[in-house]
Structure 1
Amino acid sequence: MDELATAPAPWTETEFEQLDLGDAGLNKRARILMEQFAADPTASVPKACQGWGETMATYRFFDNDSVDWEAIMAPHWQQTQQRMAALPVVLSILPS
C-alpha cells in the first residue's frame, strides 16, 4: 500500500484550508513555513529552515507585499472559533 495515500494530511491543510494570499504558491509556502516554525517555535529563521537557500526564500516570503500576517492568521482564528463553539466552556488567559 502507498504510504503517502494513507498518511494523514498535515495539520496546516485543515487549519489553514481557507488561507488565501492571492496565489496558490504563496499559500503552499505559508503552510510549509507554519509546519516548520511550529515544530520548533523558538528557532530562528535559519535554524527552522533547511539551508541557506530556504532561509533566503523565507525572508523573500516575509518581504512579499501579498503576504499579510492577518490574512495568514484569519483561517486559524476561524478554526479556533469553531472549536470553541463546540465546547460548553472555554478558558482563555489574557495578558494583563
Structure 2
Amino acid sequence: MKLTADGNFPRWLRVLSFVSGLAIFVASLAIEWLPRWIRMFCFLLGFGMMAIGGFTSRAHMLHIKPFDNSYKKARRTYEVDDRDKSNKDDTQGGA
C-alpha cells in the first residue's frame, strides 16, 4: 500500500484525512469535559488534517503533483556546464 500515487495522495487517503480532520475538529468544539489544552490541540490537529486533505484534493483537481521529485529534473536544466561557460568566454571576450 503506497501513500503517494503519481505525485499526490490517493483518493482514499485524501478523503480519510479530510473526514477524520473534520470529526476531530467538531469533537474538540463539542466535548466540554476535556481540559482546555487537549481541546485546543485537537482543534489544531483537526484543522491541519482538513487543510492537508483539502490542499491535496485541490492539487489533484488541478493536476499538480505536490509530492513529486520532478523539480530535480528542472533544476538540472538550469545548471551551467563548465565547458559551455568557457566556450562563451572565449567567443565573447577574445582579443
Answer yes or no: same fold by TM over 0.5: no
Of Structure 1 and Structure 2, the greater helix share is in 2
Q: When the two structures are superposed, what TM-score results if normalisation uses the length of structure 2? A: 0.30
Larger Rg: 2
